[in-house]
């Protein structure tokens, strides 16, 4: 694809995203509107993921979550056409992910007929890996590696995997895997406060408190004003870093004497 054609496609996708965001605030049928918009441009799975992830987040914050209008029994079955079925699935899975409903995501995939599971797109399978990783399951690491081999550094897919690793607990090599993901181009080439937040947590887990503190301070500095919930998460991480650093420092003799 030439640079001109690529720019034109990006412009079309931005128009679809804007129309989708407007639809998400307009009524109960907004997932069908979005599926229709994506069908009109013959969207790829990557483009569907880009639009659906963003719209699902905005709909959720506006109190109109995809989970209120899309039901697992409806979208686990084969759809009339590939793009519609994929869009509904992406919206529903994004809604579950943003609510941290890992068991529900796993149950959703187990409800699917084998004919649907065998043709899942890479982003959908990243959601499956997220569900397993979020439950601290080592089979999630295996699925994550499979997804990474074919994701071609797709940003939304890598964000899902990074989120799953961050949510998991005591997974072998968890912190090192987070840092390796963050070295990939979608993260390494731009300063993202959420990515830096994940990085700070990984560095804290590895005991590199000085670098973790520098990283979370950078994330706080880059966070746009007005996002109170994310700011609270970042401040909480900073407190965890400083507490872990203080705990790791050996007690000085004078301190020990003062405590007796």
Show the 3-state SS of the chain: CCHHHHHHHHHHHHHHHHHHHHHHCCCCCHHHHHHHHHHHCCCCHHHHHHHHHHHHHHHHHCCCCHHHCCCHHHHCCCCCCHHHHHHHHHHHHHHHHHCCCHHHHHHHHHHCCHHHHCCCCHHHHHHHHHHHHHCCCCHHHHHHHHHHHHHCCCHHHHHHHHHHHHHCCCCCCHHHHHHHHHCCHHHHCCCCHHHHHHHHHHHHHCCCHHHHHHHHHHHHHHCCCCCHHHHHHHHHHHHHHHHHHHHHCCCCHHHHHHHC
Average pLDDT over residues 219-233: 94
pLDDT at 1: 60
Q: pLDDT tens digits for 17-72?
A: 899 888 888 777 899 999 999 999 999 999 999 999 999 999 998 889 999 999 88
Q: pLDDT tens digits for 79-99?
A: 889 999 999 999 999 999 999
Give the predicted TM-score (pTM) of the model. 0.91
Distance from C-alpha of 34 to C-alpha of 111, rounded to nearest angstrom: 24
Distance from C-alpha of 73 to C-alpha of 45, rounded to nearest angstrom: 22
Distance from C-alpha of 187 to C-alpha of 195, rounded to nearest angstrom: 7
Give the total residue count for the chain.
260
Q: pLDDT tens digits for 110-124?
A: 999 898 899 999 999
**Residue 3 confidence class, pLDDT cut points 50, 70, 90:** low
Q: pLDDT tens digits for 152-208?
A: 999 999 999 999 999 999 999 999 999 999 999 999 888 899 999 999 999 999 999
């Amino acid at each position: 694809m030439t640079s001109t054609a690529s720019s034109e496609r990006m412009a079309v996708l931005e128009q679809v995203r804007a129309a989708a965001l407007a639809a998400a605030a307009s009524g109960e049928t907004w997932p069908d509107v979005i599926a229709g918009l994506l069908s009109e441009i013959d969207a790829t799975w990557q483009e569907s993921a880009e639009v659906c992830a963003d719209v699902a987040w905005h709909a959720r914050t506006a109190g109109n979550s995809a989970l209120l209008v899309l039901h697992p029994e409806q979208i686990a079955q084969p759809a009339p056409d590939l793009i519609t079925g994929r869009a509904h699935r992406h919206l529903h899975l994004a809604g579950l992910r943003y609510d941290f409903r890992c068991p529900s995501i796993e149950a959703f995939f187990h409800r699917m007929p084998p004919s649907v599971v065998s043709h899942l797109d890479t982003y959908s399978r990243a959601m499956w890996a997220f569900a397993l990783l979020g439950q601290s399951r080592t089979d999630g690491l295996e699925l994550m590696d499979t997804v990474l081999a074919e994701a071609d550094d797709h940003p939304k897919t890598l964000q899902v995997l990074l989120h799953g690793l961050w949510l998991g607990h005591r997974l072998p090599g968890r912190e090192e895997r987070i840092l390796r993901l963050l070295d990939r181009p979608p993260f390494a080439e731009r300063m993202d406060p959420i990515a830096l937040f994940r990085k700070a947590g990984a560095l804290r887990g590895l005991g590199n408190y000085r670098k973790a503190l520098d990283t979370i301070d950078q994330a706080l500095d880059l966070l746009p004003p007005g996002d109170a919930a994310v700011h609270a998460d970042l401040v909480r991480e900073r407190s965890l870093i400083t507490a872990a650093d203080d705990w790791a420092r050996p007690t000085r003799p004078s301190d020990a004497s003062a405590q007796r």
